[in-house]
Amino acid sequence: MFEVYRKEIKWGGKLLTFETGKIARQADGAVMVTYGGTTVLCTAVGALTAKPGIDFFPLTVNYQEKTFAAGRIPGGFF
């Protein structure tokens, strides 16, 4: 079902892994990057046609941290 590609290098004494082909396959580009034990899923999508009437490049970047990444439920105090 999946056509997975991986690339691993040792960088700054830790393993850096790029993986694509398994998750978020409908995005134009989707790569899971893992450095040490930190993992970020990055996706890139571009519309097929230009938006008419704008003279700037409509790029949006959203970086989001999920609290499950740290094994927590948001909002609570412990």
Partner 1 sequence: MVFFKREGRPSEKETLVSRLIDRPIRPLFHKNYKNETQVIATVLAHDMENDPDVVAILGASAALTISGLPFMGPIGACRVGWDGNNYILNPTIAQMKDTTLDLVVAGTSDGVLMVESEASELSEEIMLGAVDFGHGEIEHVIKAIIDLAEVAAKEPRPLPDEPKEKDEYLKKITPFRKKFEKAYKEIDKSSRSTILSHIRNEIILEFGELANSTLLSSLTKDIEADIVRSSILKTKRRIDGRDTKTVRSIVAEVGTLPRAHGSALFTRGETQALVVATLGTGQDEQIIDALEGEYRSKFMLHYNFPPYSVGEAGRVGSPGRREVGHGKLAWRAVNPLLPSGDDFPYTVRIVSEVTESNGSSSMATVCGTSLALMDAGVPIKKPVAGIAMGLIKEKKEFSVLSDILGDEDHLGDMDFKVAGTEDGITSLQMDIKITSITKEIMEIALQQAKEGRIHILNEMAKAIGSPREVLAESAPKITTMKVKLEKIRDIIGPGGKIIREICETTGAKVDIEDDGTIKIAASDAESSQAAQSRINDIVAEAELGVIYTGKVVKTVDFGAFVNFLGTRDGLVHISELQNARTEKTTDICKEGDDVKVKVIGFDDRGKVKLSMKRVDQDTGEDIENKKED
Sites of contact with partner 1 (CB under 8 A): 5-9, 11-12, 14, 16, 18, 20-21, 27-70, 72-77
Burial class (CB in 10 A: 0-12, 13-18, 19+), 22: middle
Amino acid type, 13: G
Q: Which is nearer to partner 1, 1 or 51 (CB)?
A: 51
Q: How far is the CB of 1 from partner 1 (least distance, A)?
A: 16
As measured in angstroms, the least distance from the Cβ of 24 to partner 1 is 9
CB of 14 to partner 1, least distance (A): 7
Single-letter residue type at 62: N
Sign of CA dihedral 49, 18, 26, 73: negative
